[in-house]
Amino acid sequence: NLAAIWQTVENTILAEDGLDVQSGKSWIELIDLESWTKMYLMEEIFANGDACFISQYFYYDGGENDGKIYAGPIWDFDHAMGTRKTWALTIPNSFYANRLNVKDGFDSPWFYYLYQKEEFYERMLEEYEKVFLPALELLRNVTIQTYAQQIECAASMDYVRWSVESHG
């Protein structure tokens, strides 16, 4: 039952020792560390206001494979990079994905608790240095204007579709 699997994953993430009391499994056995750290970094770097709130995808790779929960695909960044006024924009050192701001049962504290776990934190730093930093430098130095031009029409239609009054 997928709901039970998700509950076990959440139990391990929220547990201080990282273990689910009923199954005895560790969070690191249940999630794909690489995909979760990459999602965390995407949400933080691009300041996604929807991080751990709505529009998040995860999938279960059960069956004959490893039986882990994967984060992704990443999507829905219309509340990112300062495009909308969000609570965190008023606090320069705030986190987006790593926030313990569970309100109305919508926000998820998963990344907040994972960030406290040494294995997650170390892997996140490795992914940042190995994958994200070089990509961000390339984006800054070479390609950002090209991408802006490529998505200009789609961005305009997003504003029309979602009835956004201001463009930033």
Interatomic CA distance for residues 149 and 152, integer angstroms = 5
Q: What pLDDT, on a 0 to 100 scale, did the predictor assign at position 97?
A: 53
Tell me what pLDDT residue 149 has.
Answer: 86
For 27, the token pair is: 């969070």
- Residues in the chain with pLDDT values less than 50: 87-88, 102-103, 166-168
Q: What is the phi-psi region of residue 55: left when phi exceeds 0, alpha when psi lies from -120 to 50, beta otherwise?
A: left
Whole-model pTM: value is 0.72
Residue 81: per-residue pLDDT: 64
Which pLDDT belongs to residue 50?
Answer: 65
Q: What pLDDT is recorded for position 47?
A: 72
Question: What pLDDT is stored for residue 91 in this prediction?
Answer: 53
